[in-house]
Structure formats: C-alpha cells, structure tokens
Amino acid sequence: MKELSKLNIELEKEIIEIVEEGNVFHESNLYTVALDHYQEGWAKLPDDKQWDFLTYWIAGCLYQVYFDTKEYKTAKKWIEISMAGQTSKIDTGGFMDLGMVCYELEQYDEAFTSFDRSFKIGNKRAFQERQKKYLDFYLAKKKSITN
C-alpha cells in the first residue's frame, strides 16, 4: 500500500480536512453535504485509489452515508472496498457492516456468513450498538443450522 504522505503531504492533509468536514455534516444528518465531501475526497485521491488508510477510510465513510440513506446496493460496494484494507484480525466492524447491508438487501446467506465471522471474533459484543434485529436474525439462523 502506498503512502500518499510520502508523495504529496499537502494533498493528504487537504483530503483529510475535506473528509473530516464531511463527518461533521454526517453527524448532523446532512447526508447530501456529507456525501459531497466524501466524493470530493475520493476524487482527489490519485488515480489508482490504493493509498494507505485514506482509501479505506473514505470508502467506509461513503458506506455509512449510503447505508444511513438506505441506498444499500451502493453501500455494499463501498463496504467491500473499505474491507479490502482491513488488516486487524480482531476488528468486527467491517463484517458487521457487510452483514447488515446484506441483510437489508435480503442476501441472507451472505449476511449470516458475515455476522458469523463477527460473532466468532467478538461473540454478542460484536452486535452491541447495532439494531437488535441483526443479532436476532443471526442467532435464529445459527440455531436452525445446528438443529
């Protein structure tokens, strides 16, 4: 993975500032404005879009705004990009996000697989701060498989 800071530190700082502004708008539920910022940050990444944390951070931000606005097909695309940069073996966030978006798209087998990976890492803690329906779905499907 290439480090943009080694190529152009000013560009990296500019992108970070744009995305952080987008986060402020996102937290205020100003999704269109947040999306504009995230897309601007993404567009400023040099062409191949494979830049250390920036690529995966911006993709995660784009996922979240599309998920929050119920644009699940587009959200899935962005969480898959974001997860490509996941290096932690104990982080359940990406698997939970992928599971949730697959659930909303009624792609239940893929949702279960993602939730199962999260559960194996974090048990029920992986589902904290998520809607209860996701844990209920996972536990019901797991029970039906083991019976």
**What is residue 13's three-state secondary structure?**
helix
* Mean pLDDT per 10-residue interval, the chain, length 147 residues: 81 96 98 98 86 88 98 97 83 94 98 96 94 97 89
**Residue 144 pLDDT:** 93
Q: What is the pLDDT of residue 53?
A: 85
Give me the pLDDT at residue 134, please: 98
CB 23 within 8 A of CB 46: no
pLDDT of residue 11: 93
According to the model, what pLDDT value does residue 5 have?
A: 78
Q: What is the model's pTM?
A: 0.92
Maximum Cα interatomic distance, the chain, rounded to a whole number of Å: 58
pLDDT at 3: 81
Look at residue 83 and give its three-state secondary structure: helix
Residue 43's pLDDT is 95
**Residues 22/41, Cβ–Cβ less than 8 Å:** yes
Q: What does the pLDDT read at residue 51?
A: 67
Predicted local confidence at residue 1, as pLDDT: 67
Tokens of 119: 């559960």
